[in-house]
Amino acid sequence: MSAENSEVSNNGIVIIGAGLAGWHVIDAIRAKDKDIPITLITSDSGDRYHKPMLTMAISQKKSAADLVRATGIDAAEATNVKLLANTQVTDVDTTTQQLQLISALRSDPVYTNYATIGYDKLVLAMGAHPIFPKSLPEELVWHVNHIERFGQLQEKLATGSQHVAIVGAGMVGTEIAEDLLKAGHQVTLIDLNGAPLSQMLPPKATARIAQAVKSQGINFLGGYQVSAITRLSDGKLQVSYEALASVNTTAEPIEPLIVDHVIASTGLTVDDKLPTAAGVDFDRRTGIVVDAPTLRTSTANIYAIGDCMSIDGVPCRYVAPLRAQAATIADDVLGLDHNGYEHKPPMIRLKNKAISVMVTGVPKATGNWQVKTESDEELVMDLLNDSDEVSATVTIKSPVAPTL
């Protein structure tokens, strides 16, 4: 595959976002070219950390600082990158190939000062933001999508056993529920659906996960919708919720929960401001559309990678493909010939210990799921497409109870 345009002037390569995606791109470029100017602009400190650790760290008594593998400053120095930390990109002008920047620190005296910076090649690696439904006001609830916010929550939880409600039993919600339980907290996990992971797996599979989660001691409330959260005078939070008649036919009338903290894990969305300004093909739910073999967006000289990007209408929100995607971007921006990135959906593995859940392919809740193996210890199901080909497989293993 030949590169789009190998000419790179002094503006060099600009990367927006210092998460795993942005840093992978830097590593991949530096593996091929030690000198080309790279600027990394990020609204946080740019510190390098492994985000999947955020759902394992509390039970391991790890603070945010413990999870930082290198500070942004040190990592930038080691990779010969100009780091603009605590800086937000607010606009992209694709005609002049310039970005508009603002300080991301509201307390900063230059908060209102704008600056501009040019790019030859631009990589959008700006991640996705947690969705906060109206009933979960951002100022009352936590999220674990960023190390900074995680760190504040971890500090609160380190003071002793507390009651935490987690809203949303997708992978992140289900993992953090177990992690908090292991750390000695009381955990209530609430989801609209009758079982965890119901948005990606069929009921027969999710029923096993619900069973494992409950038998572990997590109070799983399936088929309930949080209707309001209120701060009480003693600082605790009142979580009001109601049964969804369509899912939960046996629900008893319910008293509001009184908890110390609420964590929202209700999905991610991609901010539309920069994609719109850049004129790239974009869907708010799934992200910036890229051409899979090159990771190019629909706008010249702009690439996308990580949580903000989607391939074939499917968001790409896992760590495993980042290295190969970043290598392709590196070759393409440097004007090197390459074979093209070949996208394979990554293997998805739930990090919970109470049950082992492994998924390959592109799973979805509905569709022609067929049982391949079924026993008390194991369930294997295939999702068949219209041509009867396997498009996803889920393997669930329950830990065998130890013999006494």
Q: How far is the CB of 130 from ligand FAD (least distance, A)?
A: 8
Q: Pick from 12, 15, 17, 295 the residue near ligand FAD by CB under 6 A.
A: 17
Q: Pick from 8, 15, 16, 333 the residue near ligand FAD by CB under 6 A.
A: 16
Q: By CB under 6 A, tell whether 39 contacts ligand FAD.
A: no
For the window 274-293, what string marks contact with ligand FAD as x by the rule CB under 6 A?
x-------------------
Q: How far apart are CA 398 and CA 353, in angstroms?
A: 9
- Residues 129, 145 contacting (CB under 8 angstroms): yes
Q: By CB under 6 A, tell whether 22 contacts ligand FAD.
A: yes
Q: How far is the CB of 84 from ligand FAD (least distance, A)?
A: 8
Half-sphere exposure of 321 (CA within 13 A, CB side): 24
Q: Helices 20-32 & 322-334, crossing angle to 10 degrees?
A: 50
Stretch of 14-22, 28-36, 206-214, 364-372 contacting ligand FAD, by CB under 6 A: 14-22
Q: Pick from 13, 14, 15, 21 the residue near ligand FAD by CB under 6 A.
A: 21
Place of tokens 């500070």: 71
Q: Pick from 8, 13, 14, 18 the residue near ligand FAD by CB under 6 A.
A: 18
For the record, the structure tokens of 266 come out as 């209700």
What is the separation of C-alpha 28 from the centre of its chain, rounded to a whole number of angstroms? 21
* Strand-pair partners of 110: none
Stretch of 63-71, 109-117, 120-128, 178-186 contacting ligand FAD, by CB under 6 A: 120-128
> Which of 149, 196, 147 is closest to 169 using CA atoms?
196
What is the separation of C-alpha 295 from the centre of its chain, rounded to a whole number of angstroms? 19
Q: How far apart are CA 340 and CA 293, in angstroms?
A: 4
Half-sphere exposure of 58 (CA within 13 A, CB side): 29
Q: How far is the CB of 234 from ligand FAD (least distance, A)?
A: 29
Q: Pick from 13, 14, 20, 76 the residue near ligand FAD by CB under 6 A.
A: 20
Q: Pick from 51, 236, 343, 372 the residue near ligand FAD by CB under 6 A.
A: 51
- Residues 154, 263 contacting (CB under 8 angstroms): no
Q: Pick from 13, 15, 54, 141 the residue near ligand FAD by CB under 6 A.
A: 54
Q: Pick from 39, 48, 58, 127 the residue near ligand FAD by CB under 6 A.
A: 127
Is the torsion defined by CA of 320, 324, 325, 330 positive or negative? positive
Q: How far is the CB of 351 from ligand FAD (least distance, A)?
A: 5
198 phi, psi to nearest 5 deg? -70, -15
For the record, the structure tokens of 205 come out as 């599979």
Q: Of 267 and 318, which CB lies nearer to ligand FAD in the complex structure?
A: 318
For the record, the structure tokens of 335 come out as 């004007």
Q: By CB under 6 A, tell whether 307 contacts ligand FAD.
A: yes
Residues 210-269 that bind ligand FAD (CB under 6 A): none
Q: Pick from 68, 126, 164, 229 the residue near ligand FAD by CB under 6 A.
A: 126
Query: DSSP letter string over 167-234?
Result: E--SHHHHHHHHHHHHTT-EEEEEESSSSTTTTTS-HHHHHHHHHHHHHHT-EEEETEEEEEEEE-TT
Stretch of 37-45, 214-222, 249-257, 355-363 contacting ligand FAD, by CB under 6 A: 37-45
306 phi, psi to nearest 5 deg? 90, -155
Q: How far is the CB of 45 from ligand FAD (least distance, A)?
A: 9
Q: How far apart are CA 276 and CA 271, in angstroms?
A: 9
Q: By CB under 6 A, tell whether 270 contacts ligand FAD.
A: no
288 phi, psi to nearest 5 deg? -80, 130
Q: Pick from 3, 228, 320, 336 the residue near ligand FAD by CB under 6 A.
A: 320
Length of the chain: 404
Q: Of 243 and 282, which CB lies nearer to ligand FAD in the complex structure?
A: 282
- Residues 350, 175 contacting (CB under 8 angstroms): yes
Q: Pick from 13, 165, 172, 207 the residue near ligand FAD by CB under 6 A.
A: 172
Q: By CB under 6 A, tell whether 55 contacts ligand FAD.
A: yes
Q: Of 44 and 243, which CB lies nearer to ligand FAD in the complex structure?
A: 44
Q: By CB under 6 A, tell whether 42 contacts ligand FAD.
A: yes
Q: Of 40 and 192, which CB lies nearer to ligand FAD in the complex structure?
A: 40
For ligand FAD, the binding residues (CB under 6 A) are 16-22, 41-44, 51-52, 54-55, 88-89, 125-127, 144-145, 172, 274, 306-307, 317-320, 351
